[in-house]
Amino acid sequence: GEQTAESVKITIGNAFPPGEVLTMDVKGRDMVEGIPRVVRIDSDEVREALSEPLDAIVDTVKEVLEQTPPELSSDIMDHGIVMTGGGALLRNIDIMLQTRTGLPVSVCDNPEYAVVIGTGKALEELALLKEVTLSRT
């Protein structure tokens, strides 16, 4: 189920091979036999299961970088990519993205709350936000 999948992803999930292979016992219904069963899975299997969406993330990042204006590209090369959001918590996703893009990548503090915190700060500076928004239209 969805809760079990999320637990597996958080506990042993990874985007890039860790130093050691982690394992976890997963309880659920065997879809072939229809009976409850316990299966031991490892972090390599989870990474393989996540490979398709991770490849899509890398492809999207590369597409965005190709369309990025030169002055911003220079900043990205100097300061790197900062990851936000809950997905940034996947073990070694920063290392995977750095390896696949050749750019420095880091995860911000409290990535699952970064957008909310940033929005709150923007709303505290409403006049500046309006000025920036109006200058782009």
Amino acid at position 16, single letter: F
* Cβ atoms 61, 97 nearer than 8 A: yes
Per-residue pLDDT, 22 = 94
- Using DSSP bridges, classify how beta strands 23-29 and 36-42 pair: parallel, antiparallel or unpaired: antiparallel
Per-residue pLDDT, 41 = 96
* Cβ atoms 16, 54 nearer than 8 A: no
Q: What is the pTM of this model?
A: 0.80
Q: What tokens appear for 102 in the block? A: 């050749």
Cα–Cα distance, 104 to 17 (Å, whole number)? 18
Work out the mean pLDDT of the chain and round it to a whole number: 92
Average pLDDT, 10 consecutive residues per value, the chain (137 residues): 90 91 92 92 95 97 94 92 94 96 95 92 87 72
